[in-house]
Amino acid sequence: MECLKMIKPAFTLSCFCMLLCYATVLNPVSAKESCDFPAIFNFGESNSDTGALAAVFNWTPPPYGETFFHRPTGRYCDGRLLIDFVASHLGLPFLNAYLNSLGSNFTHGANFASAAATATIPLSNDFVIPAGGYSPFYLNVQVGQFEQFKYRSQIIRKTGGIYKDLMPKEEYFGKALYVIGIGHNDLTERLIANMTIEEVNASIPYIINGVSTNIKNIYQLGGRSFWVQNTNPIGCSPFFLTTFPPTADETDSAGCSKPFNEVLQHYNYKLKEAIVQLRKELPSAAFTFVDAYSLKYRLISEAQKYGFELPLVSCCGYGGKYNFGVVGCGRTATVNGSQIFGGSCKDPSVRVYWDGFHFTDAANKFFIDQLSTGAFSDPPIPLKMACHREFD
Give how far the C-alpha of residue 345 lies from the chain's centroid of Cα atoms, to the nearest Å: 24
Whether 34 sits among the annotated catalytic residues: the reply is no
Domains, the chain: 36-304+361-391 (3.40.50)
Q: Could you say which of 108, 184, 358, 388 is catalytic?
A: 358
Query: How many angstroms separate the CA atoms of 346 and 330, rounded?
Result: 15
Q: So what's the pLDDT on residue 17?
A: 45
User: Which of 61, 193, 209, 183 has its CA nearest to residue 113?
Assistant: 183
Catalytic entry in 49, 355, 361, 392:
355
Asked if 121 and 138 touch (Cβ cutoff 8 Å), the reply is: yes
pLDDT recorded at residue 390: 73
pTM over the 0.85 mark: yes
Is residue 355 part of the annotated active site? The answer reads yes
Q: Could you tell me which residues are beta bridge partners of residue 178?
A: 41, 226
10 Å Cβ neighbour count for 215? Answer: 25
> Residues 231-261: pLDDT tens digits?
999 999 999 999 999 999 999 999 999 999 9
Distances (CA, A) of 354 to 44, 109, 330: 19, 27, 11
> Is 46 labeled as catalytic in the residue annotation?
yes
- Write out residues in the chain with pLDDT < 70, as ranges: 1-31, 391-392
Handedness of CA 155, 159, 160, 161 (dihedral sign): negative
CA dihedral 298, 304, 307, 313 (to 10 degrees): 80
Residue 306 confidence (pLDDT): 98
